[in-house]
Amino acid sequence: MFLKWMKENNFRDVNFDTPLMPKACDRDFWDKRNNAQLIERAEKYIDFSWPSIPVSTFIAFQREGNRMKHEIPYFERRKALTSLVIGEILEHKGRFIPQIVNGIYVICEETYWGLSAHIKFCDQTPLIPSPEFPNIDLFAAETAATLALTYHLLYEEIKDYCSPILERIEYELNNKTIKPYLNLKKFFWMGYHGRSVNNWNPWIISNLLTVFLIIKKEEDFYAGLEKMFTEINNYYVSALDDGGCDEGASYWVKAGGMLFNFCDNLYIATNGRINFFNDEKIKRISEYIPNTYIGNGYITNFADGSVKVTRGIESLIYRFGKRTSNKRLCAFAGLIKQNETIESSDLYTMLCDVIYKNEISDTEKYNPLDEYIYPKLQVSFANTDNWFYAAKGGHNSESHNHNDIGSFIVYYNNSPVLIDPGCGTYTKQTFSEERYKIWTMQSGWHNLPVVNKLEQYNGEEYRATSFTLKNKTTNISFADAYPKEAKILNLNRSIIQKNTGIEITDKFEFENLNNTVEEHFITALTTFVKENRVYIGDEYILETNKDAEIVLDNVDFDGDKKLIKMWGSEKLNRISFNFKTEKESEITFTLRRL
C-alpha cells in the first residue's frame, strides 16, 4: 500500500504543514479540555528530584538479567516530564516550565535513549552505550517523539524561560534519531534482512514520523518519508490479511495501533491528502481488539499478552473508528472508557487521551459478536449465555510465542475459569535461547495434553494443520505441534459452547498400541477432587467420560508482581487427568456450573 502510493505520487507535491496538535498558546482549544486532576498530577513533580541512572543500573541487565534497575528510574524521568508538559498545556501559567526544562536537560544528557535490555539489537553490544553507535529502540523513538512534541507545543513558553534548551533538543534529535535513522539499515525492525518484523516496526516508525513532521529539514524530511514508507510497508505486507495480531491482543496497541498512528499523522499533517483509511486490511486490523474483548476489562491473552485491556486504549480505538467510519469501534471505545487519564511515558498517547476523552461516549450501545474466527491467525471466539471461550491454532514461532497450539481459555460471566497463564515480568531469559525454560511458555502449563510424556516444541514447523469455527464449535488438528518422538499420527480437538457450559473432545491416533496422555487444565481458582470430579472455585465442575488418575499441583509466582497483579493470586493451579490409551482414543471433558 505504501510503496504503491510512492509509485503514483511525489512527496514534494504534498503540503505537510498542518500541525499534529494545536500549540499550548491556542487557549480556545486547550481551555475546553481543562482537567484539574491532571494539573494536580503535574503539581507532585514541581519539586521532583530527577533520579540518576548510574552505570551500575544500566549493566545490571547484562550482568544479572535484571531490567528493572535501569527501567524504574528511566521511566520515572519520562513520566514526570510528560505529566509536567500536560499540566502546563492545560493550566498555562508557566509554573511547570522550570521543571520541564530540567526534565528535557537530564534526558538530553543520556547517552542512549533506549533500554538496557535492547542495546543488544545494535551491531555493537558494549557493556555501556556509546555515542558513536546510536541505537534506535522502541523507547528511544518514543523519547524522541516526546521531546519533539514538547518542542512544538511549548516552544514560545520554553523560549522565554531558557531558549538554549530548544537548540539542545534539535541537536539531540538530529544526532540520536534523525541522522542514525537516515544513515542506517541494520536494525532488524526495519525489515531489510529477510527477517519478519513485529510491533517494533510500526511502534518506532510512527514515533519517528512525529519527529520528522515537527523538526522539518527539507532534504532529510523527504528522505525520511521515503525510508519510513518503505519500512512500514514491510510490516503492512507481513500483517495477516484477516487483521489478526499474533503477538497477543494487548500488543495490538503497539502493533496495529501504531500503524494507525502513522497513517493518522500523515492524514492530519496533509489535511487528508494522504488517506489510507479506505484500505480494507487497515479496517480489518482496526476491528481486532473489540473481537478479542471478553468483558469487565478482560481481553483474550494468548502469547505474552496481558489479561486486561490496555489502559488509555479507548482514545486510540475511538480515533480509529472515526477515521474508518466504524460506529461499532466508537461504541466500543465508550464501553471501555475510564474516568482517570493514564500516566504514561508516552506524551503522544497522553495528549490524545486528553483531547478525545470528553468526546468519547458510551451512549451508543456496543454489541459483541456471538462468534468470530481469524482464519489466518487461527484464533476463534464464541460468546453466549454468559459463557465465553477463545481457542488458538497457529504455529510455535509466532511473535512473543508460547508453545500453545490447540489451547483455549474459558470465562463465565466475564470472570476467568480456565486460563492461559500469560507472561511474567520480562528478564534477560525471556528473549533468549532459554525462553522455553520459563514455565509460562511451556505447553505443559496451558490447557493442552502432554502426549507420551512429551510437550509441544517451539518452531514454525510445530503447528496446527487445520482450524475451523462453525456454530460455536471450534475444531483444531494439531498433532504436528508435537515432536515425532511422541508417536502421534492425529490429534483433533473440538471445543463446543453449550448453554450449560463448555465441552472439549480430543481424538487421538497413535503409531503404537500403548500410550499415555496427560490432559492439563490451568486455573487461578481453588481446586479439589471428589468422586472423580474436579471442583473449581465455588461454582464449577470439570469431569471426563473416561477413567483417569487425577493429579492436582500448582506453580508459585515467586513474588512476580506482574503475574500476581494479573491473576490476584500468588500461584496458579494445574489439573491433570492422566490416561492410558490404546492406538485410538476419544476423551471428552465437560465444564459446567454447580
Question: What pLDDT is attached to residue 339?
Answer: 80
The more confidently predicted of residues 572 and 122 is 572
Q: How many Cβ atoms are within 10 Å of 254's Cβ, its own excluded?
A: 23
At residue 129 the predicted structure's pLDDT band, cuts being 50, 70 and 90, is confident
pLDDT higher than threshold 90 for residue 364: no
- Decide if 440 contacts 577 (C-beta within 8 A): no
At residue 417 the predicted structure's pLDDT band, cuts being 50, 70 and 90, is very high
Tell me, what DSSP letter sits at residue 527? E
Mean pLDDT of 296-312: 90
- Decide if 107 contacts 168 (C-beta within 8 A): no
CATH for the 371-593 domain, from 3.40.50.150, 3.40.50.460, 2.70.98.70, 1.10.357.10: 2.70.98.70
The rounded mean pLDDT for the chain is 94
Q: How many CA atoms lie within 13 A of 207 on its CB side?
A: 27
At residue 127 the predicted structure's pLDDT band, cuts being 50, 70 and 90, is confident
* Phi, psi angle pair for 336, to nearest 5°: -100, 5
Residue where the block lists cell 541522522: 179
Three-state SS letters, 469-503: EECCEEEEECHHHCCHHHCEEEEEEEEEEECCEEE
pLDDT digits (tens, 9 = 90+) for 87-98: 999 999 999 999
Question: What pLDDT is attached to residue 535?
Answer: 98
What is the rounded distance in angstroms from the CA atom of residue 327 to the CA atom of residue 317?
A: 11
What is the rounded distance in angstroms from the CA atom of residue 175 to the CA atom of residue 158?
A: 21
Rg of the chain over Cα atoms, rounded to whole angstroms, equals 25
| Residue 113 grid coordinates | 535513549
Distant-in-sequence, close-in-space partners of 481: CB < 8 Å, separation ≥ 6: 396, 403, 405, 406, 443, 456, 457, 462, 463, 464, 491
pLDDT higher than threshold 90 for residue 402: yes
Q: How many Cβ atoms are within 10 Å of 8's Cβ, its own excluded?
A: 7
pLDDT digits (tens, 9 = 90+) for 45-74: 999 999 999 999 999 998 888 899 999 999
pLDDT digits (tens, 9 = 90+) for 200-229: 999 999 999 999 999 988 889 999 999 999
Question: What pLDDT is attached to residue 128?
Answer: 84
3-state SS assignment for residue 5:
helix
Q: How many CA atoms lie within 13 A of 51 on its CB side?
A: 16
What is the rounded distance in angstroms from the CA atom of residue 506 to the CA atom of residue 589?
A: 9
What is the rounded distance in angstroms from the CA atom of residue 487 to the CA atom of residue 498?
A: 33
Residue where the block lists cell 493451579: 573
- Decide if 67 contacts 329 (C-beta within 8 A): no
At residue 363 the predicted structure's pLDDT band, cuts being 50, 70 and 90, is confident
Q: How many CA atoms lie within 13 A of 146 on its CB side?
A: 29
At residue 444 the predicted structure's pLDDT band, cuts being 50, 70 and 90, is very high
3-state SS assignment for residue 295:
strand
* Phi, psi angle pair for 527, to nearest 5°: -135, 145
- Decide if 341 contacts 352 (C-beta within 8 A): no
Q: Which of 240, 296, 212 is nearest to 16 (CA)?
A: 212
Q: How many CA atoms lie within 13 A of 215 on its CB side?
A: 29
What is the rounded distance in angstroms from the CA atom of residue 282 to the CA atom of residue 242?
A: 10
Mean pLDDT of 401-424: 97
The more confidently predicted of residues 339 and 496 is 496
The string over 372-411, giving b where at least 16 C-beta atoms fall within 10 Å of a residue's C-beta and e elsewhere, is bbbeebbbbbbbeeebbbbbbbbbbebbbbbbbbbbbbbb
Cα distances from 441 to residues 67, 210, 246, 427, 479, in angstroms, run 19, 36, 15, 13, 19
Report the interhelical angle of 164-173 vs 155-162 (nearest 10°): 120
* Phi, psi angle pair for 567, to nearest 5°: -110, 0
pLDDT higher than threshold 90 for residue 182: yes
Question: What pLDDT is attached to residue 385?
Answer: 80
3-state SS assignment for residue 466:
strand
Start-to-end CA span in the chain (Å): 53
Q: Where are the domains of the chain?
A: 2-356, 371-593
Name the amino acid, one letter, at 533. Answer: R
Fold of 2-356: Glycosyltransferase (1.50.10)
pLDDT digits (tens, 9 = 90+) for 537-567: 999 999 999 999 999 999 999 999 999 999 9
Report the interhelical angle of 97-108 vs 138-153 (nearest 10°): 150
Q: What percent of the chain has pLDDT over 70?
A: 99
**DSSP codes of every residue in 410-434:** EEETTEEEE------S--TTTTSTT
pLDDT higher than threshold 70 for residue 122: no
Question: What pLDDT is attached to residue 125?
Answer: 63
What is the rounded distance in angstroms from the CA atom of residue 146 to the CA atom of residue 113?
A: 12
pLDDT digits (tens, 9 = 90+) for 453-482: 999 999 999 999 999 999 999 999 999 999
What is the rounded distance in angstroms from the CA atom of residue 250 to the CA atom of residue 312?
A: 12
- Decide if 53 contacts 95 (C-beta within 8 A): no
Residue where the block lists cell 460506529: 327
| Residue 356 grid coordinates | 478525545
Three-state SS letters, 554-590: EEECCCCHHHHHHHCCCEEEEEEEEEEECCEEEEEEE
pLDDT higher than threshold 60 for residue 123: no
- Decide if 489 contacts 509 (C-beta within 8 A): yes
User: Which residues partner with 517 through β-bridges?
Assistant: 451, 579
pLDDT higher than threshold 80 for residue 592: yes
Report the interhelical angle of 164-173 vs 97-108 (nearest 10°): 30
pLDDT higher than threshold 70 for residue 336: yes
Cα distances from 42 to residues 52, 75, 97, 352, 404, in angstroms, run 20, 16, 11, 17, 44
What is the rounded distance in angstroms from the CA atom of residue 336 to the CA atom of residue 299?
A: 11
Tally DSSP H helices, then E strands, for the chain.
20, 21
pLDDT digits (tens, 9 = 90+) for 225-238: 999 999 999 999 99
